[in-house]
A and B are shown apart, each in its own frame.
Chain A
Amino acid sequence: MASSLADAGEQSLLRSWRRARRRDLLWRIFLPLAVIVPVALIWQWAALRPGNLLLPTFTSFVTRSVQLLFGRAFWGALVTSESALLIGFGAAFILGVPVGLAMGRARSLEGVVDPYLNIAVVTPMAIVMPLLLIIFGFTIWSRAIVIFVFAVPFVIVPCRAGVLTVPPRLLEMARSFGAGELDLWREVLVPAAIPSIMSGLRQGFAHALTGMIVAELDLLAVGFGKLLLEFRDNFDSASVFATVFLIICQSVLVMLILTQLERKVGASRVLDVAGGA
């Protein structure tokens, strides 16, 4: 008797909690979409006012976005741009990870390397571009190198941090059980650093994207950059907006995948204090 009452109480609590969660989810989906309406209205109104030369109408923006998405120009540009991205970022990751890990291991060199890494992280790499242009000229390789230079500090720094923050106690424990240097790397350092490596993947890629765009806007008008500059010179602002919108969508998509990857890998390998400090 009493237990079924208690159960009923529990059931209704569970139900109302579930209802609240569902309500939250609905708001989370509805509100962002709802924001579009006033923005679109204001935008359209502002564009249709007399004396407006610059702002494309919301409708033309949407139309142009759809046209580009199904047209050849955008995808052609994408292939051109992204091929340099893959080469440049690929190199940054393949080289940056071992270098970063090794830097983390050589603790005594920490002070020697620190200032250069700090400068690399804080300095806008775009400033290096003209120099790279002089050295490497105008080729796909120079774009890839720009992307490499943008991305590599942000691959190296997290990887290094990943190794630096391995609790020395774990290394000592492994040594006490007979681990040699290779064993240390395989059994302790690399597994411990995997979340940081994933973080480096994500951060590096974000900066590689910036490098790709910057290289094309400033250095070499191909791919997306070419599209954008062309549209701009033709005063085709709707196309500029549309292209930018599509580039943003594509970047967000890839970055979302990388962020999820980082989270999944990180969650399964939490380096918690009790086990390692």
Chain B
Amino acid sequence: MAIHASAPPHTAPLVLPRRLRIPRPLVPTLSLAAGLLLWQVAGSVFRLDWLPPLSRVVADIGTMWAQGQLQPALSESVVNLVIGFVIAAVAGVTLGTLMSLFQKVAFALQPYVNAFLLAPSIVMAPVFFIFFGLSRATPIAVIVLYAVLFIAVNTQTALKTVDTQLVEMARSAGASRWQIYRFVIVPASLPLTMAGLRLGMGRCVKGMINGELFIAVVGLGRLDSSFAGAFDATGILAIMLIVVVVAVVATSAVQIVDRRLNSWLYREG
């Protein structure tokens, strides 16, 4: 590869006016820090009703924690999230596998799967409420719906788009249909399936919040509604911050698991 006269722009370090070179990997973190700082300053200086300074919000979180308000709410929400994700993952992968294995099943279900993917999943919340009422099952059902079809379609695509050359190679080596499935198709489809699961977790988090806000009886949703009712901007922002952290942590966790699994898999292969 010919050496370029200068490094391609998107790997070069960020050069600020006074020739301050910040290494690329640090930029996002610093940017976030700058944003938080801006929040703090704006909140202190402008004294808006709806923008308390970051420090006050953090203090509020601390108080809520100390008073034991947060823990049950958080734990309820997170438990729902995990249960929902597991159900969605298992059901989704199963459904996707079935749809890729049996063409008739795919034909029969595809329109419904696509329809529910296109429509906003939250619209089914009232229906779940009719079935499950005020129990935990309603938010879990919403969480499951948010992710299951997405995971199913991703799994289906992953299985269908395995390199045909590999399949041919296995067949020419005398593998049975079952062996081809186990030794070629499943490993080859893992990256895309994992990607679907990772994105599915993101959708689960959205389902968790959207569902809980609607029900407003469990977890973070309940807290949030009470703050909203009381026009407590600090409380609202506190929950927002927590939710953002939960969402980012959950998605990153799945991303890390995804990466580990893939590198382990490919080292084996």
Establish whether A and B are touching in the complex (CB under 8 Å): yes
A residues whose Cβ falls under 8 Å from a Cβ of B: 27-28, 31-32, 34-35, 54-55, 107-108, 110-116, 118-119, 121-124, 126-131, 133-135, 168, 206, 209-210, 212-214, 217-218, 228-229, 231-232, 237, 240-241, 244, 247-248, 251-252, 255-256, 259
Top 9 nearest A-B pairs (CB, nearest first) are A111-B27, A130-B228, A124-B209, A31-B108, A255-B118, A210-B120, A124-B206, A251-B119, A248-B119
A221 to B123, CA, bound (A): 14
Chain A residues whose C-beta falls within 8 Å of the C-beta of B108 in the assembled complex: 31-32, 34-35
B10 at the A interface (CB under 8 A): yes
Question: What is the chain B residue whose CB lies nearest that of A110?
Answer: B10
Given A114-B28, A232-B126, A251-B119, decide whether A108 and B9 contact each other with a Cβ distance below 8 A.
yes
Q: A240-B127, A247-B119, A247-B123 are in contact. Are A124 and B10 (CB under 8 A)?
A: no
- Is B115 at the interface (CB under 8 A from chain A)? yes
Q: Chain B interface (Cβ within 8 Å of chain A)? A: 8-10, 12, 14, 24, 27-29, 31-32, 35, 49-50, 104, 107-112, 114-116, 118-127, 129-131, 202, 205-210, 213-214, 216, 224-225, 227-228, 231, 233, 236-237, 239-240, 243-244, 247-248, 251
Determine whether the beta carbon of A134 is less than 8 Å from that of B236: yes
Say which residue of A32, A241, A248 sits within 8 Å of B110 (CB atoms).
A32
A148 to B111, CA, bound (A): 29
Chain B residue at minimum C-beta to C-beta distance from A211? B120
Whether A111 contacts B214 by the Cβ 8 Å rule is no
Partner of A134 from the list B111, B130, B231 (CB cut-off 8 Å) is B231
CA distance A209 to B120 in the complex (A): 6
Tell me whether chain B's interface is mostly helix, strand or loop, or mixed: helix
Most buried by A among B10, B110, B123, B244: B123
In the assembled complex, the Cα of A239 lies from the Cα of B231 at a distance in Å of: 33
Q: State in angstroms the CA–CA spacing of A199 and B202 once bound together.
A: 19
> Closest CB-CB distance, A137 to chain B, in whole Å?
11
What residues on B are CB-neighbors of A32 within 8 Å? Answer: 107-112
B225 contact set on A, CB distance < 8 A: 130
The main secondary structure of chain A at its interface with chain B is: helix
Contact among B9, B24, B28, B49 with A115 in the assembled complex (CB-CB below 8 Å): B28
Q: How far is the CB of B107 from chain A (nearest CB, A)?
A: 5
Chain B residue nearest to A164 in the complex (CB): B10
Q: How far is A107 from B118 in the complex, measured between Cα atoms in Å? A: 33
Known contacts A111-B27, A111-B31: A122-B202 contact under CB 8 Å: yes
Would B213 and A251 count as touching, CB distance under 8 A?
no
* Shortest distance from the beta carbon of B2 to any chain A beta carbon, whole Å: 13
How many angstroms between the C-alpha atoms of A123 and B129 in the bound complex?
24
Which residue of the partner chain B has the closest CB to A259? B118
Q: Please, which residues of chain A bring their CB within 8 A of the CB of B115? A: 248, 252
Residues of A within 8 A of B236 (CB): 130-131, 134
In the complex, which of the residues B28, B32, B130 contacts A54, with contact meaning CB atoms closer than 8 Å? Answer: B130
Selected contact of A218 from candidates B10, B214, B239, B251, CB within 8 Å: B214
In angstroms, Cα B100 to Cα A34, docked, is 20
CB distance from B216 to the nearest CB of A (A): 8
Q: Is the CB of B126 within 8 A of A206?
A: no
Task: Determine which of A130, A228, A237, A252 lies in contact with B118 in the assembled complex, contact meaning CB atoms within 8 Å.
Answer: A252
Q: Which residue of A lies closest to B15 (CB)?
A: A108
Give the residues in chain A near B131, CB-CB below 8 Å. Answer: 54-55
Contact B27 A112 (CB under 8 A): yes
Residues of A within 8 A of B207 (CB): 124
Provide the bound-state CA to CA distance between A24 and B24, in Å.
53
Given known pairs A28-B107, A35-B109, A213-B122, the reply for A107 and B210 (CB within 8 Å) is no
Closest to A250 in B: B119
In the assembly, what is the distance between CA of A143 and CA of B129, in Å?
Answer: 23
